[in-house]
Structure formats: structure tokens, C-alpha cells
Amino acid sequence: MLLKKATEEFNHYLQSKERSKETSRGYSIVLTDFLRYLEKELNGQVYLDEITVDHMEGYLDYRKQQGDQPVSRNRALYIFRSFFSYLIKRDLVEKNLSLKLEPIQTQKKERTYLLPDEVEILIDAIDHPLVKVAAITMANTGLRVSELCNLTLDDVDLKTQMIKVHQGKGNKDRTVPINSKLLAVLTKYLKEQRSLVKSNQFFATTKTGKLSRQTINHELNEATTRLNWTKHVTAHILRHSFASTLVRNNASLPAVQSLLGHSDLRVTSRYIHQDLGQLQAAVNLI
């Protein structure tokens, strides 16, 4: 089969699995770019049985020469693995050659937060549908995992786009806004997944009627293993990543403090210490 036809069928497969438009688009861009690269290398149409490990490694090296960062090239590698896994299931190839690709080293020092691109890669790699929605929620609200697991149906108001957190850390209540991206995800979740569960908990499995922090962290660990990440990612890291992203996008510390539910601004400052250097550099401009 031609690589072009296989990528088209893979894209239809992603749509049938109701992967997000962003995910499908990202996969399509990489595979289309890979196709163009190979057509140039092989001087013509490309068949699946012509693809080698050297071709994929050459493509990743080509992207490096184009200035792509390691995280972007690792995302391309992960897309190759997903694509070849699909090809194996459809008996279109005999071996998953992408498994022979070595993950690209990013940063030796373990990070305590994820960049937006990394959060997206992580969420894409989560197989558990409910945990995927929960992870998207934490990444877009900064909720503690315990706060998320305790949410009831009444706590999440999609009409006003607000989440009410009752008795968070320190037994303090707070309200967290729902952005447009999360609104679309939660609306779909309530309509297509949550309607099948009889429970007052907002995040609930059909078996237990609730979602545990252990399940969330287990699935996050499984996802990082599939990605061959060495960093240890937990639900707390998603909360930390949320805060770091806000500060990197120039949100005020008091605003971040309010969203996270911190009683003391100094706690917020320690929590997002990676970005305080940027703030120090800014004030030194005066």
C-alpha cells in the first residue's frame, strides 16, 4: 500500500476514535511532512514496505537541522509509533520498525513541571478515557487531584463556566473559571461518557461511581512509560505546570495565587520558582 493512502486511512481511524481535532491535525502534519521527505529521498511514490529505520532517523535528523527542539522530534517519534501500531493491527506491515528508534534526550535534569507542548504529548498518550478528561481538567484549572476527585455534578457549572471547589486545602472554598478549550471537553464528556454512570461524583467510573487519585497517577505513569520519559509525572505536576504556564504568559502572581487556592503569596512564589528569574530580569529593566 502507498504511504499516502495509509496516512489517509490512519487519519480516518483517529477521527473514528474521536481523537481531538488538535491531535488529528498534529499527526497529519507530521506524517504528511514525512511523506514529502521520503518522496524526495526516493524520487517518487513511497510504499509502506520501502520504509526503513534509516528513513525515519533521517527524517528526525532533517527536522533537527530545520531547528526543531528535542520535544518536537520526540513527538514525531511518538507519532511514528502510533502510526506503525495502527499498521500492525491492520496487517499492513509485519514489523513495527519505529520501536527501534531511540528517544531523543531532552534535559538530563528532572523537571518539576511540563511545558505546554509536553502536556499535550502526555495527554495524547493517556489511554484511559476518563483519566484523559481528568488530566485535561487539571492542566487547565490547576486543581489538586483530591479536589478534582471530590467534585460533584453540582460543583461544575458549564453554563456559567465555573468550577466550585469546596473545602480545598485549609478548608477554603474557591471558584475556578473554565476556559473555552476545557468547556468543549467537559461538555462532550457529560453528553457521551458521564451520562452512562449513576453517581453524584463528576468524575466517575461505571464500576465504582468515582475516580481515585491512585488511578489517575497510575495512568499518568503508564503514559510516561509509553513515551519513554525518564521524568516522574504525577497529577501534582499538572497543577505545577498550570501555574508555570500562567506566569510564563504574564499572569499576575495574585491571580495565580487565587486560582491555586494559596493563602500566602510566598507559597505561590515558591511553587512557581522556575519563572521568578524572568520576573527578576523584568524589574531590573527599570
- Which residues are known to be catalytic? 144, 169, 236, 239, 262, 271
Residue 263's CB is within 10 A of a number of other CB atoms, namely: 11
C-alpha span between 277 and 99 (Å, rounded): 39
Residue 236's CB is within 10 A of a number of other CB atoms, namely: 15
Q: What angle do CA 174, 176, 178 make, to 5 degrees?
A: 160
Cell of residue 203, nine digits: 468524575
The answer to whether 274 and 245 are in contact (CB under 8 A) is no
- DSSP E strands: which ranges in the chain? 156-157, 162-165, 174-177
Amino acid at 201: Q
Residues 6 or more apart whose Cβ sits within 8 Å of residue 95: 88
Kindly compute the dihedral angle of the four CA atoms of residues 261, 266, 267, 273, in this order, to the nearest 10 degrees. Answer: 120
Cell of residue 278, nine digits: 524572568
